[in-house]
Amino acid sequence: MSIMSRFWISLILSLPMLAEMILHPFGWMLPGGEWTMLVLTTLIMAVSAGPFWQSAWASFKKHHSNMDTLVAIGTATAYFYSVYAMITHQAVFFESAAFVTTFVLLGQVFEERMRHNASNAVEKLVNLQAKEAEVLRNGELVKVPLSEVAVGDLIRVKPGEKIAVDGVITKGSSAVDESMVTGESMPVEKHAGDHVIGSTLNSNGTFMFKAEKVGDETMLSQIVALVKKAQNSHAPIQKLTDQVSNIFVPIVLILSVLTFLVWYVFLGTSVASALIFAVSVVVIACPCALGLATPTALMVGTGRSAKMGILIKNGEVLEAVNDVTTVVFDKTGTITMGKPEVTDIVGNQAQVLSLAASLEANSEHPLASAILAQAKAKGIVPAPVADFQAIEGQGVQANVDGQLAFVGNDKLLVDYSIDEALKKRAVNLQLAAKTVVFVGRGHQVIGLIAIQDAPKPTSKEAIAALKARGLKTVMLTGDNKRVAVAIAEQVGIDAVIADVLPADKADHVAELQKTGKVAFVGDGINDAPALTVADVGIAMGSGTDIAIESGGIVLVKNDLRDVDRALAISQKTFKRIKLNLFWAFVYNVLGIPVAAGIFYGIGLTLSPELAGLAMAFSSLSVVTSSVLLNRAKITSHVNEAV
């Protein structure tokens, strides 16, 4: 029988007793008197409260106890005592047993609904998927169910349709609404060669795309898996409640026996009043509120942040965010756009560029791509090189036309000579926030290439928001000090640690951790160790898979301002967890003494009915408070606060 029907049965059967209680002072008597009460309460005990007994007994046999143990013992004590009292012609309190059952069930009805609300948000995400796709098969477009779409399929998307899976546009263009995955409300223009994400909504154009990821591999599936994991993870703060909940129920039972003994044996009250106090103690104690406080808030908080495009991986991260005092940023791709462009070439333009392009043709460095792009634009074809060698953190060298040639940063200059004029030019370019690459042949530097990676337009605002929060901001980069400082000044970062070798990033983070908890924001493969070492690793969604894997928080929208939003929502969620725990403890810590009659002297007591009501609403209020987290205002210091 469902909780709902058990509740209705017990409510309807309790109503006559409620009427008796209210109308008794006016001289109205329940027809049949105690006998009617006995029949009604017996029915409630058997039908509505029966399952409490079943559950209590099953766990008792396993040396466990739960909320049902308390409800079962509380109601049964009231019931059986009343039967005994009836036989011996004393005052009965059948109505206590009946009302407590009704109230507890009422609380459970609401609570069940709320818990359902809290956990279902993410499952709804999965339902966003398209049900079918128009796939090119044997030269014809046919509609197939989503499950039959395979990697490599060409799929047509018409205006207003959902994109079935992840892939790359092969023909056509359109604006795509990606808000369901990234949280970004503005539609994004997509052309041939651009990636599209499954489950996002095509707005105005028609295009064909090639499926690249299907099934569990798609971005949406990955996000859902990640969020589910986060929602069910444990926050360290929970350890306390875990310990408490294990011993809670037996302790309450012991307290209840003690209450009875003190009232009956030492204070000399009647058996009936001593029992009422004992029953109230059992009934008001609510282990469930304690157990629900953390998981429900965690579930709602991580679910809501996922909708904003901020994936918080687990409760541990969420808790760590609260103590962060320093935020460290990687420069390239995090603060800057990560798309470096050649701005100046010093020396013989064609010669310098051609030599640099030949050497960099084999390099994977981001600066290399800028040089190659420039060479391509100028129509320069890289020449073949021999004995190519990359020197970590410095540059590359190789043999070109039988002569040693090199391209690299100023660390390479130890072994090579450079004239004063070039050196001065290099410094000036660096002061203008441009990265300078030295190009040389033999042992002589023959020219410079200046490359600029402009800061993202939102970086400045993002940094300002974090500073408004009272956090220290630091930039960590392998780039030259002058360039780094120039960029830092543009975006308003407090401190700069430059000339860092990729392998040393994590060490610098560890060094900063000596003064407080550190969050690290990065996107590259070389950032992965730092993301792991930091108390909170924040990976940009555009970053490499390994960076996303290493980070505790992933910013899907790739917007640096989300760092502040991530901090805001984490703090809000954690505060809510603490609030919930506070209330859950207060209920029990204050409720139990009151129920035990400690404040009897000043006229403050709780009848079992009221105790039952308080207990029912304690877990309900905790769950409601968690669900309300969905509506709570998140105070972020950046514009368009969510």
Partner 1 sequence: MLKIIVLLIGLALISFIAWWFFGKHAVATETANVTDDIQQIDIDVNGGYSPESVVLKRGVPAVMNFTRRDPSSCLDRVVFPDFGINRELPKGEKQAIQIDTTKPGEFHWACGMDMFHGKLIIK
Is 295 a binding residue for partner 1 by CB under 8 A? The answer is yes
Instruction: Please give the structure tokens belonging to residue 616.
Output: 């029912």
Min CB(174)–partner 1 separation in Å: 34
Is 108 a binding residue for partner 1 by CB under 8 A? The answer is yes
Cβ proximity to partner 1: between 69 and 202 the closer is 69
Is 281 a binding residue for partner 1 by CB under 8 A? The answer is no
Beta bridge partners, 405, equal: 398, 441
Min CB(119)–partner 1 separation in Å: 6
Q: What is d(CA 341, CA 371) in angstroms, rounded to the nearest whole number? A: 8
Cβ proximity to partner 1: between 56 and 534 the closer is 56
Cβ proximity to partner 1: between 226 and 380 the closer is 226
Cβ proximity to partner 1: between 68 and 178 the closer is 68
Q: Provide the terminal-to-terminal Cα distance of the chain, rounded to the nearest Å.
A: 43
Helix (H, G, I), strand (E, B) or coil at 144: strand
Q: What is d(CA 356, CA 380) in angstroms, rounded to the nearest whole number? A: 11
Is 363 a binding residue for partner 1 by CB under 8 A? The answer is no
Min CB(261)–partner 1 separation in Å: 4
Residue 527's nearest CA partner among 475, 457, 491 is: 475
Buried b (16+ CB within 10 A) or exposed e, 215-224: eeebbbbbbb
Single residue of 74, 167, 198, 287 touching partner 1 by CB under 8 A: 287
Single residue of 145, 152, 236, 250 touching partner 1 by CB under 8 A: 250
Please report, as residue ranges, which positions from 413 to 432 form the binding site for partner 1 (by CB under 8 A). none
Beta bridge partners, 386, equal: 399
Please report, as residue ranges, which positions from 192 to 231 form the binding site for partner 1 (by CB under 8 A). 225-226, 228-231
Fill in the per-residue mask, 461 to 500: x = in contact with partner 1 (CB under 8 A), - = not in contact. ----------------------------------------
Single residue of 117, 173, 245, 399 touching partner 1 by CB under 8 A: 245
Fill in the per-residue mask, 319 to 338: x = in contact with partner 1 (CB under 8 A), - = not in contact. --------------------
Backbone angles phi, psi at 489, to 5 degrees: -65, -40
Cβ proximity to partner 1: between 108 and 332 the closer is 108
Q: What is d(CA 165, CA 168) in angstroms, rounded to the nearest whole number? A: 10
Q: Single out the segment in contact with partner 1 by CB under 8 A; choices: 207-215, 291-299, 424-432, 601-609.
A: 291-299
Query: How many binding residues for partner 1 (CB under 8 A)?
Result: 52
Min CB(234)–partner 1 separation in Å: 5
By the 10 Å C-beta count (0-12 exposed, 13-18 middle, 19+ buried), 532 is classed as: middle
Residue 455's nearest CA partner among 477, 470, 423 is: 477
By the 10 Å C-beta count (0-12 exposed, 13-18 middle, 19+ buried), 105 is classed as: buried
Single residue of 12, 126, 240, 247 touching partner 1 by CB under 8 A: 247
Instruction: Assess whether 330 carries a catalytic annotation.
Output: yes
- Tell whether the torsion through CA atoms of 98, 104, 110 and 116 is positive or negative: negative
Please give the biggest Cα pair distance in the chain.
117
Residue 553's nearest CA partner among 543, 532, 538 is: 538
Residues contacting 595, CB < 8 A, separation 6+: 277, 280, 281, 283, 284, 606, 611
Instruction: Please give the structure tokens belonging to residue 587.
Output: 């209920």
Instruction: Please give the structure tokens belonging to residue 231.
Output: 């929602």
Query: Are the C-beta atoms of residues 492 and 464 closer than 8 Å to each other?
Result: yes
Single residue of 119, 179, 428, 458 touching partner 1 by CB under 8 A: 119
- Reported residue count of the chain is 642
Q: What is d(CA 240, CA 236) in angstroms, rounded to the nearest whole number? A: 8
Instruction: Please give the structure tokens belonging to residue 545.
Output: 């898979």
Is 232 a binding residue for partner 1 by CB under 8 A? The answer is yes
Residue among 330, 453, 527, 535 flagged as catalytic: 330
Please report, as residue ranges, which positions from 23 to 82 form the binding site for partner 1 (by CB under 8 A). 51-52, 54-68
DSSP state of 638: S
Min CB(306)–partner 1 separation in Å: 13
Is 112 a binding residue for partner 1 by CB under 8 A? The answer is yes
Single residue of 79, 93, 260, 277 touching partner 1 by CB under 8 A: 260
Helix (H, G, I), strand (E, B) or coil at 439: strand
DSSP string, 559-575: -TTHHHHHHHHHHHHHH
Q: What is d(CA 168, CA 155) in angstroms, rounded to the nearest whole number? A: 10
Cβ proximity to partner 1: between 192 and 240 the closer is 240
Q: What is d(CA 78, CA 96) in angstroms, rounded to the nearest whole number? A: 7
Beta bridge partners, 417, equal: 444
Q: What is d(CA 1, CA 546) in angstroms, rounded to the nearest whole number? A: 50
Cβ proximity to partner 1: between 61 and 89 the closer is 61
Min CB(249)–partner 1 separation in Å: 8
Single residue of 167, 291, 524, 612 touching partner 1 by CB under 8 A: 291
Cβ proximity to partner 1: between 62 and 143 the closer is 62
Min CB(594)–partner 1 separation in Å: 22
Cβ proximity to partner 1: between 58 and 141 the closer is 58
Q: Single out the segment in contact with partner 1 by CB under 8 A; choices: 253-261, 362-370, 498-506, 599-607.
A: 253-261
Query: Are the C-beta atoms of residues 635 and 305 closer than 8 Å to each other?
Result: no
Min CB(565)–partner 1 separation in Å: 24
Min CB(114)–partner 1 separation in Å: 12
Q: Single out the segment in contact with partner 1 by CB under 8 A; choices: 104-112, 141-149, 181-189, 326-334.
A: 104-112
In the complex, the residues that contact partner 1 under the rule CB under 8 A are 3, 51-52, 54-68, 108, 111-112, 115, 119, 225-226, 228-234, 238, 241-242, 245, 247, 249-250, 253-254, 257-258, 260-261, 264-265, 287-288, 291-292, 295
Just list the catalytic residues.
Answer: 330
